[in-house]
């Protein structure tokens, strides 16, 4: 896999309180807002439109404050409701200079959607991290198991890893068709833990979601641009869990894949 450059961002808890409605704290895998700010500034310009096809509670909404237009797609109604609350909060407190569009439903039904760039974090397969309650709890603290996004029939996180990657290939193809030449796609992802089923691929319990995502992006037509890793410091409790359970992979970073349409 490509060499990664390491980034360090502080906790965004207090910063989120400034820009987001309190209801946004219910999402199991929120993107770090400092990281999102960095990507918005690095890859986009004011006046451009950014797409997020699996937007969750809508961290990308911050971009409207910086003059970017945002198109979010979200499957789960409860997360769409949170995004509407946050949009109202932003309008009341920050006077956004960009526009916001929310499309509620399966991204595969909407794509392609015309946009200049795409920044998003794909869903993680819930059952790729299941290895019993104890392992699932430790993986959750490591950030490798995000709990449950929802129970909609089209919820990709409820699929097996194989079917998840097939569905994501369809979404990445839709993103490719959505963007113009030289449009950036940034995918925020990380490897996951599967102590039961990943060994057949030779990764010893580590599911290579990042490597598989890079391959899918290449297959649908994107050119590789950059690969970064965000440091996610493990808690003392997790470090103890690792010492007591040496078979659990040590995943301490989140990956930021940046590709570009030729």
Q: What is the mean pLDDT of residues 126-150?
A: 46
The yes-or-no verdict on residue 128 having pLDDT over 70 is no
Q: Answer for the pair 243, 199: CB distance below 8 angstroms, yes or no.
A: no
d(Cα 222, Cα 257) in Å, to the nearest integer? 11
Q: Is the pLDDT of residue 36 over 60?
A: yes
Cis bond leading into 175, ω under 30°? no
Phi, psi of 70 (to 5 degrees): -125, 135
For 43, 202, 203, the CA distances from 260, given in Å and listed in that order, are: 10, 30, 28
Please classify residue 110 by burial: count the beta carbons closer than 10 Å to its beta carbon, then call 0-12 exposed, 13-18 middle and 19+ buried.
middle
Q: What percent of the chain has pLDDT over 90?
A: 56
The Cα 29–Cα 198 span in angstroms is 22
Which CATH homologous superfamily contains domain 5-260? Vaccinia Virus protein VP39 (3.40.50.150)
Is it the case that residue 248 has pLDDT exceeding 90? no
Model confidence at 190, in pLDDT bands (50, 70, 90)?
confident
Eight-state DSSP code of residue 54: S
pLDDT at 162: 85
Is the pLDDT confidence value at 148 over 60? no
3-state secondary structure of 253: strand
Alpha-carbon torsion 76, 78, 80, 86, what sign?
A: negative
Q: Residue ranges per domain, the chain? A: 5-260
Inter-helix orientation angle 133-142/236-244, to 10°: 140
pLDDT in tens, 73-126: 999 888 899 999 999 999 999 999 999 999 999 999 999 999 999 999 998 754
pLDDT at residue number 135: 47
């Amino acid at each position: 896999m490509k060499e990664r450059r390491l980034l360090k961002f502080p906790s965004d808890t207090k910063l989120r309180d400034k820009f987001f409605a309190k209801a946004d704290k219910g999402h199991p895998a929120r993107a770090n807002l400092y990281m999102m700010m960095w990507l918005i500034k690095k890859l986009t310009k004011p006046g451009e439109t950014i797409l997020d096809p699996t937007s969750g509670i809508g961290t990308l909404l911050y971009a409207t404050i910086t003059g970017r237009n945002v198109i979010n797609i979200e499957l789960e109604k409860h997360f769409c409701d949170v995004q509407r609350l946050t949009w109202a909060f932003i309008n009341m407190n920050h006077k956004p200079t960009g526009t916001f569009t929310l499309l509620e439903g399966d991204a595969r039904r909407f794509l392609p959607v015309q946009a200049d760039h795409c920044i998003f974090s794909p869903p993680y397969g819930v059952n790729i991290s299941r290895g019993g309650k104890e392992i699932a709890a430790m993986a959750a603290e490591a950030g490798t198991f995000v709990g449950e996004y929802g129970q909609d029939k089209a919820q990709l996180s409820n699929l097996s890893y194989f079917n998840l990657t097939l569905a994501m290939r369809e979404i990445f193809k839709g993103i490719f068709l959505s963007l113009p030449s030289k449009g950036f796609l940034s995918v925020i992802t990380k490897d996951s833990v599967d102590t039961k089923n990943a060994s057949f691929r030779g990764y010893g319990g580590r599911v290579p979601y990042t490597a598989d995502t890079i391959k899918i992006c290449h297959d649908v037509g994107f050119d590789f641009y950059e690969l970064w890793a965000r440091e996610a410091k493990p808690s003392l409790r997790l470090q103890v869990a690792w010492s007591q359970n040496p078979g659990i992979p040590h995943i301490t970073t989140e990956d930021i894949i940046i590709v570009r349409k030729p």
